[in-house]
Amino acid sequence: MTDTQYEQAAQHRLAVVGAGVMGTNITALAAGHGVDVTLVDVDEEILTAARRTVRQKLQHAQLMGALPAGRPRGTVTTTAALADVADATTVIEAVVEVAEVKRKVLAECSALVAPGTLLISNTSCVPVDEMAGWVVRGEDLVGVHFMNPCYLIEMVEVIRGSATGDATMDAVGGLLDALERQALVVNDAPGFVINRLLHPLINRAAMLVQEGVADAETVDGLLEGCLGHSTGPLRTADLIGIDNLVDSLRVLHERTGDPECAPCELMLRKVRDGHNGRKTGRGFYDYESATERPIR
């Protein structure tokens, strides 16, 4: 991190709403780059777990050499009071991919912050134009799709809605530069680029397991060895969270009508059983055993 980037980081006061997988990822990324973060969720039990998770992710980032050397970390403050976002220079919504939940959070946050405050949704699939109708000032809203784990993956997908203002695009560029992220800007659409491609691929991979064509390890091995997929689609599903994927696939299916986006029965069954991937210890693979193994 250059001196200029560090000075930029110190100018930001970030509020992250939602202390799940992506909320804690974004918090670790920002704190590791010298940005003070207020992390908001609904109760202290969730926040207690989130504080522990953020510490673990910061340690992982440090071990991987993903944090700038010789720079102090930003502070992390947790709170169950949404009103504590009011003084932030940027608010990032990182709640579940359920439109009703996002609508409530974004509407309340936009009413609390001053005009011109950068309002970011870490949306996976819900279009920015749709969300712009939920906030007080649609010109302040932009989508930033951080990848998991975002403290290791430098590329981000920035989604500009039709109402997103030039000042907002300048502001999001400044924040991402301070966080040493590389941004590619895309136009608004359900799922944008990454998830419009990735989520149907994961769904189809799960269908192959469901139909008995191959087990998860074989499907992943073929995608890794033949097509260069870094982790395989089903290990990726476990990392994202199968419940999150099902929510996102439903959003895509409802908004595009693409039958490839209707969640397959195997994924739905895993969610019903509480087998959502790494965060629950079981998904397409078993993470509770001494060695990671596929569930057959």
Domain of residue 275, CATH code: 1.10.1040.50
Show the domain range for 276: 194-294
Domain stop point among 168, 187, 206: 187
Q: For residue range 10-26, what is the model confidence (pLDDT) as tens digits?
A: 689 999 999 999 999 99
User: Same domain, yes or no, for 147 and 265?
Assistant: no
Q: Model's pTM, two decimal places?
A: 0.90
68 pLDDT tier (thresholds 50, 70, 90): very high
Residues 239, 181 share a domain:
no
Domain total of the chain: 2
Q: What is the pLDDT of residues 212-258, one digit of tens each?
A: 999 999 999 999 999 999 899 999 999 999 999 999 999 999 999 99
Q: Are residues 272 and 207 in the same domain?
A: yes
pLDDT of residue 115: 97
Greater confidence (292 vs 94) lies with: 94
In terms of domains, do 103 and 244 share one? no
Angle at the Cα of 31 from the Cα atoms of 25 and 37, rounded to 5 degrees: 90
Q: What is the mean pLDDT of the chain?
A: 94
Residues 211 and 126 both lie in one domain: no
Domain check: are 166 and 222 in the same one?
A: no
Distance between alpha carbon 218 and the CA centroid of its chain, in Å? 27
Give me the pLDDT at residue 137, please: 97
- In whole angstroms, what is the distance from residue 79 CA to residue 41 CA? 7
Question: What are the tokens at 71?
Answer: 């720079």
Are residues 234 and 288 both part of a single domain? yes
Q: Can you read off the two tokens belonging to residue 89? A: 């220079």
Cross-strand partners of 79: 40
Domain boundary, last residue among 161, 187, 213: 187
pLDDT in tens, 110-130: 999 999 999 999 999 999 999
SS3 content of the chain, % helix, strand, coil (to 5): 50, 15, 35
The residue written with tokens 């073929």 in the block is 222
Q: Are residues 150 and 7 in the same domain?
A: yes
Retrieve residue 67's tokens: 């944090």
H or E, element range at 282 = none
Q: Give Cα 188 to chain centroid, integer Å.
A: 17
**DSSP SS3 for 71:** coil
186-196, pLDDT tens digit by residue? Answer: 999 999 999 99
CATH code assigned at 135:
3.40.50.720
Measure the CA–CA gap between 172 and 174, rounded to whole angstroms.
5
pLDDT, tens only, 135-179 = 999 999 999 999 999 999 999 999 999 999 999 999 999 999 999
Rounded Cα distance between 223 and 221, Å, is 6
Residue 69 pLDDT grade (very low, low, confident, very high; cuts 50, 70, 90): confident
Instruction: Provide the β-strand partners of residue 155.
Output: 182
Q: Is the pLDDT confidence value at 131 over 80?
A: yes
Tell me how many helices (H) and strands (E) the chain has.
Answer: 11, 10
> Active-site positions?
145
Do 180 and 227 fall into the same domain?
Answer: no
Are 166 and 215 within one domain? no
- For residue 17, the SS3 value is strand
Domain boundary among 170, 187, 204: 187
Question: What H or E segment, with its residue span, contains residue 255?
Answer: helix 242-256
Q: Are residues 100 and 19 in the same domain?
A: yes
Same domain, 180 and 199: no
Are 231 and 287 contacting, i.e. CB atoms less than 8 angstroms apart? no
